Amino acid sequence: MEKPRATPDTGKQKVRSAEVGTDILKALAELSPATSLSRLAEHVQMPASKVHRYLQALIASGFAEQNAATNHYGLGREALRVGLAALGSMDVLKVAALPLAELRDALNETCFLAVWGNQGATVVHIEPAVRAVTVVTQLGSVLPLLSSSTGLVFSAFLPARETVELREREIQAGIAHALEEDQAYADSCEQIRQRGLHFVHGLLMPGVDALSAPVFNAMGQVAAVLTVVGPTSLFHADEDGPAAKQLLATSLAVSWRMGYQP
């Protein structure tokens, strides 16, 4: 006996059903750790009866669960497994590569990505400016904590235990500048956290300005720092300038792609 063929309408219904299920999963994540049926229905703007039907299917597949004591719903074990797999595939270098190139094209200044290594802020990707006057930044360079905008952004967002030894070494080496005092250092870090970026004028290299902004992962931890550098005569590293706005937009876009929710 010939099996009934799927019609285009049937295919559309399946796609729509998958979209609804995805919307409910997203809502469970946004309302986590648990929520009532009525609140979930209001959040997705669907009838509670419809949401309940989808929840039963999600529970059966392990993507949702219901607390027997409260009757509230939350994400299930399978959703956690898929989420962890997605997080494991998030490589900040891969995620940031294209946005960094686009930022370089927009500003025509050297842009680079740094991650925190065992020696400090380490340059792992560079997009050089395309013009006669450029700033050379070497791949693999380790930037100082206290005298580079990149290092100072890491200082502001990393746990103190990650930076304390490096800061002490730089102070002992006499390269601490105005941030040798604990209060000045703490105030600087707080200002960077409030602004969401940092800028320096000729601090690391005379005649070179720099702007840096953090990239966060899904856990809200700083995963990398994006930096724009250029000659003072051509590049204006001001916190309210157009370059700063473009840098912030790029860092937020990369953070979002890494799973970060402000």
pLDDT at 89: 45
Cβ distance 207 to 231 under 8 Å? yes
pLDDT at 40: 93
Burial of 77 (0-12, 13-18, 19+ CB in 10 A): exposed
- Write the CB contacts of 217 (distance below 8 Å, at least 6 apart in sequence): 87, 90, 92, 223, 255, 258, 259, 260
Cβ distance 200 to 237 under 8 Å? yes
Ranges in the chain annotated CATH 3.30.450.40: 92-257
| Assessment of whether the complete model's pTM goes beyond 0.85 | no
Phi and psi dihedrals of 68, rounded to 5? -65, -30
Residue 33, amino acid: P
What does the alpha-carbon distance between residue 30 and residue 39 come to, in Å, rounded to a whole number? Answer: 12
Ranges in the chain annotated CATH 1.10.10.10: 8-88
pLDDT at 158: 94
Residue ranges, the chain, pLDDT below 50: 1, 89
CATH of segment(s) 8-88: 1.10.10.10
The model's pLDDT over 80-105, given as tens digits with 9 standing for 90+, comes to: 777 666 555 458 888 999 999 999 99
Q: Which CATH number fits domain 92-257: 3.40.50.720, 3.30.450.40, 3.40.50.150, 3.30.70.20?
A: 3.30.450.40
What does the alpha-carbon distance between residue 197 and residue 231 come to, in Å, rounded to a whole number? Answer: 19
The model's pLDDT over 186-219, given as tens digits with 9 standing for 90+, comes to: 998 999 999 999 988 655 565 678 899 999 998 8
Phi and psi dihedrals of 117, rounded to 5? -110, -170
DSSP symbol at 150 = H
